[in-house]
Structure 1
Amino acid sequence: MADYFERLNYALGDEDTALEYTILPEQSRHVLGVAGCGGRLLPLLARHPARMTCADISAPQLAFTRLRLALLEQTDRQSFMDFMGYWPETSVARRKSIFRLLDLPPLDRRWLADLFHSRHWQAPIYQGAFEQTLQRLAKINGLFTGKAGRAIFQFRDLGEQSAYYQSRFPLKRWKAVIALLGNAAVLNSLLYKGAFPRNNLGISSREVYLDIFHTLFTTQVVRESFFLQMLFFGELRYPQGFPLECNPQVFQLARKAQQQCRLTVVQGDIFDCASRCRDVDFVSFSDVPSFLPAEVGMDVLQRLRPALGEDALTVIRGHLHVVRPDSTGFCDVTAKFQEAIAREKTQLWRVQVYRQTSSVQVSR
């Protein structure tokens, strides 16, 4: 497990932050979230919280988070898009020049410079272990499904896409790819280095992935999913599928809000971080509970309660391992956000949303 948190696992990420963005109320007092690569929390700034605390136990992930926040604060959207690699025509010289002008903590600058140098200053959004795993899977996918598989991205209309999927998409060959993707041992080896949470859904991983991708192919225009673009091309080719941080309005709102928000980035356990917080209105927990020992995972909401304000919302994601926490003092309001969950562009997650109904805050 330790090895997993000592490298850059995510640079683009595997979550569609539009979900948390939809759930988070405007002008919350305090947002607490797992930093990840920063891509989840940057758009949440656009909701103008008075305070935001980003926590992570991984130093590489925090360095990448601070990089994103520095780009947001110190550059414009064009420079952000160029540097991160959303525009493939960006030159190495251009990327280096942007990096040179950023005001970053010395340790971050040294670590990031070494990383980028070792990767020949290629697009940062593809430098995480997850993104590189998807690039390897995209090559395998291409061998199996070829042009017929990639052709599904030509459609802008869901009806036409669904018709192609049902009649011309290489479904049998795609299912062979799913057999690989659905192999927990493969994912454990490629990405999680032995830390892959055990499947507790009661059905095989293969069945889970078959359902996920059938849902994506039949309910969403696939070119609008950054996850599917990565899985078929190993890169982002269609701007319609760029993550929410790329949206011009969201970027500008986040940039403006950053100037007024009390923003803190903390290395450490999110529970330790929460113990020093108060009046938290919103918690973006990602899938952290899935990685915790069973008894700790069950207790996540109770451990957060002292930090939470009245009616605070907590969003928990789970992939193949879903934790059902003790929700005493909370109301499960997931159904209220079902439409937003259905629009999530990866569909990798079982999402739970809880609202606190009774506060146990103490004065500090």
Structure 2
Amino acid sequence: MADYFKRLNYALGDEDTALEYAILPKHAGHVAGVAGCGGRMLSLLARSPARMTCADISAPQLAFTRLRFALLEQTDHEAFMDFMGYRSGIPARRRQSIFRHLDLPSQDRRWLADLFNSRHWQPPIYLGAFEQTLQRLAKVNGLFTGKAGRAIFQCRDLGEQAAYYRSHFPRMRWKAVIALLGNAAVLNSLLYRGAFPRNNLGISSRKAYLGIFHTLFTTQIVRESFFLQMLFFGELRYPQGFPLECDPQVFQQARKALSGCELTVVQGDIVDCIMQHRDVDFVSLSDVPSFMPPAVGTGVLQRIQPALSKHAHVVIRGHLHVVQPDRTGFCDVTEQYQDAIARETTQLWRVQVYRQTSPVQVSR
């Protein structure tokens, strides 16, 4: 488990950041969340919170998060897109030039420079262990489903796509790919190094993934999913599926908001970091509770409750392992955000949204 936090696990990420963006109201007081690769927090910054706390126990993830914020603050949208790798054909010298002019903490600069040099300044969004796992799976997928699988990305609308999926998509060969993707032992070996949370959904991982992808193929335009693009091509080819940070308006809003936001990027356990405050209005916990011991995960809302402001919202994600927290003092408002959850372009997550109803009175 310790090795899992000593490398860059995510550079593009495995969550559609548009979900939390849709939930967070504008001009919140204090937003706290797992830093990850920085993409979610950059997008949330566009909602103009007064204060933002980004926490992670992984030093590489924090370095990548600070890199994203440095690009946001010190470059423009074009340079951001070029550097991160959202535009194809960008030469290494262009990335090197942008990086050379960034003001970064010296330790981050050394670590990032070593990473980029070791990968010959390839697009940074593909350098995380998760993204490289998807690239390997894309090669396997290509061997199994070939042109017939990739052809679904040529469909012009959802009706045409659904018809292709029913009649022409190589579904039997795709199920063989799902058997690999749904194998917890394979995921442990390729990515999680033994840290993959135990499936507690009551159905097999294979059945869970079949449901996830059936939903994606029949309810969403596949070009609009960066996750599906990665699984079929090993790279992002269609701008419709680019993460929210690529939207010029969101980027500019986040950049403008940065000057008026008290931003803190800190290494540590997200729950411990939240508990140091008394005014948090919005918490994005990602799937952190899934990795906690059962008793700790169940009590996560109770642990952070004293740190929350009145009517604060907490968003929790679970993949194959979903924590059912003690909701005392909270109400489940997930149903209010079903439209946004249905639009989430990975569909990997069981999303839970809670609102505090009975704040703890803390003497000051």
**TM-score of Structure 1 vs Structure 2, range by shorter chain:** over 0.9
Query: In the alignment, what sits opposite 1:245?
Result: 245
CA distance, structure 2, for counterparts of residue 78 and residue 26 of structure 1: 26
> In the alignment, is residue 308 of structure 1 matched against residue 302 of structure 2?
no
CA distance, structure 2, for counterparts of residue 80 and residue 223 of structure 1: 22
Query: In the alignment, what sits opposite 1:335?
Result: 335
SS in 2 for 1:41: helix
- Say if 1:308 and 1:361, in contact at 8 Å, map to a contact too: no
CA distance, structure 1, for counterparts of residue 343 and residue 18 of structure 2: 9
SS in 1 for 2:315: strand
Note the C-alpha offset of 1:267.
0.2
Note the C-alpha offset of 1:362.
1.8
Structure 1: gaps (5+ residues): none
Note the C-alpha offset of 1:361.
4.5
SS in 2 for 1:281: strand
SS in 2 for 1:160: helix
Count of residue correspondences: 364
CA distance, structure 2, for counterparts of residue 79 and residue 156 of structure 1: 31
- Say if 1:278 and 1:361, in contact at 8 Å, map to a contact too: no
- Say if 1:70 and 1:102, in contact at 8 Å, map to a contact too: yes
Percent sequence identity is 80
RMSD: 0.6
Query: In the alignment, what sits opposite 2:46?
Result: 46
CA distance, structure 2, for counterparts of residue 29 and residue 156 of structure 1: 42
- Say if 1:17 and 1:40, in contact at 8 Å, map to a contact too: yes
Note the C-alpha offset of 1:274.
1.1
Query: In the alignment, what sits opposite 1:61?
Result: 61
CA distance, structure 2, for counterparts of residue 272 and residue 338 of structure 1: 30
- Say if 1:30 and 1:280, in contact at 8 Å, map to a contact too: yes
- Residues 1-364 of structure 1: matches in 2 within 5 Å? 1-364=1-364
- The verdict on how the C-alpha distance between 1:120 and 1:361 changes in structure 2, with shifts beyond 3 A counting, is farther
SS in 2 for 1:125: helix
Note the C-alpha offset of 1:156.
2.6
Give the counterpart letter for 2:351 in structure 1. Answer: V
SS in 2 for 1:114: helix
CA distance, structure 2, for counterparts of residue 93 and residue 152 of structure 1: 35
CA distance, structure 1, for counterparts of residue 113 and residue 238 of structure 2: 28
- The verdict on how the C-alpha distance between 1:332 and 1:109 changes in structure 2, with shifts beyond 3 A counting, is same
Question: Residues 205-251 of structure 1: CA distance to partner in whole angstroms, max 9, x if unpaired?
Answer: 00000000000000000000000000000000000000000011100
CA distance, structure 2, for counterparts of residue 159 and residue 256 of structure 1: 40
SS in 2 for 1:53: strand
The structure 1 segments of at least 4 consecutive aligned residues displaced by more than 6 Å after TM superposition are none
- Say if 1:307 and 1:361, in contact at 8 Å, map to a contact too: no
TM-score where L is the length of structure 1? 0.99
Structure 2: gaps (5+ residues): none
Give the counterpart letter for 2:54 in structure 1. Answer: C
